[in-house]
Amino acid sequence: MAATAHFKALTLLLQSAKYSDLTLCCGDREFAVHRAIEASSGRIELKDDDPETVERMISFMYSLDYQDEQRGNVEAARSSDAEASNASNSDATVVSAEREVLAETLVNNNDGNVHSQGDSQPTLFSSVRVYAIADKYNVQSLKDLAKQRFGRWARRNWACADFTAIIREVFNSTPSSDRGLRDIVSGIVANHSDFFIQKDGFRELVEDVGELGLGMLDKLMIRHMEENSALLLQIQSLEAEIGVSKLLQGKSKQALARKSSELDAMMSRVNDLSVCRHCNEDFNIEVEDHFPGRAIIRCRKCRTRH
């Protein structure tokens, strides 16, 4: 609760520019912010960054959130509120520390090569660019949020017309060592390879971005191994069931053979009896009881047990 109130106050501070002692200049935009460390001047030029992306980064530093233009519906607003409300006191501490790192980075390193000056690409590129600028200025919590938001969007919208352009942006704006967004798009492409192979411009994209092809192969190999493992488990389960069935079948055969043997023994004994040992009458039997392995045989006339 305290963290939420804290960031609401910071958001109002950003919107009003009250007590601002530092100006960030990006293209034709200026942002009135508050420096966390002492600097030689109150103005920093960000010539190589996209102004809208810088604005989203600054918004996050004050409110733990940033706004995507494509998230302007009710559902998106609820999602944004939920994300912001999940900010804990530890989040506030992390962002406070990252704000200091950002300020120091802006002062000491304005030679970034991640973004070019803002262009006319659709706003659905925003989380990709926020991810890249967060990596550039070492704001890990913003990077994590951008990755989460992009992943959620990409898994729902991979069939959109601009997705190949978004893939190109991901690979052009992140280093090879950073697998965050690259693994997301590689996994999506691998899962829907039949669709993308037939998509206009996709083959050219793979030719231009060789790492995408390698990422696809990695994901397809992993999926193939997982499917093989699942199939192997199914085979092992079926083999176990077959083994149990064979065991039960063997026991049934043994029981049947035992019953047959018992019946043969009883009939052999009956055939050996011609007269009753007590009344000397022709033997006329009655099987009184029958138990596994034995039977009680009596003379039907005198009831003598044999």
pLDDT of residue 122 exceeding 50, the answer is no
Q: Quick one: tokens of 258?
A: 């035992």
CA–CA distance from 285 to each of 6, 224, 264, 296 (Å)? Answer: 102, 72, 16, 10
- pLDDT tens-place string over residues 220-266: 888 788 888 888 888 888 888 888 888 888 888 888 888 888 777 77
Checking 111-117 for CB contacts under 8 A at 24+ apart, the result is: 111/48, 112/46, 112/48, 112/49, 112/136, 112/137, 113/48, 114/48, 114/49, 114/173, 115/48, 115/49, 115/50, 115/53, 115/173, 116/48, 116/50, 117/27, 117/47, 117/48, 117/50
What is d(CA 285, CA 298) in angstroms, rounded to the nearest whole number? 6
Average pLDDT, the chain: 73
Which of 1-5, 100-104, 177-181, 255-259 has the highest average model confidence (pLDDT)? 177-181
Q: Which residues pair with 29 in a beta bridge?
A: 26
Neighbouring C-beta atoms of residue 163, cutoff 10 Å: 21
Return the SS3 of 26: strand
User: What is the average pLDDT across 168-197?
Assistant: 90
pLDDT tens-place string over residues 11-68: 655 555 554 556 667 677 766 665 554 455 566 677 788 888 988 988 888 788 888 7
Ramachandran quadrant class, 238 (left: phi over 0; alpha: psi -120 to 50; beta: rest): alpha
pLDDT category of residue 4 using cuts at 50, 70 and 90: low
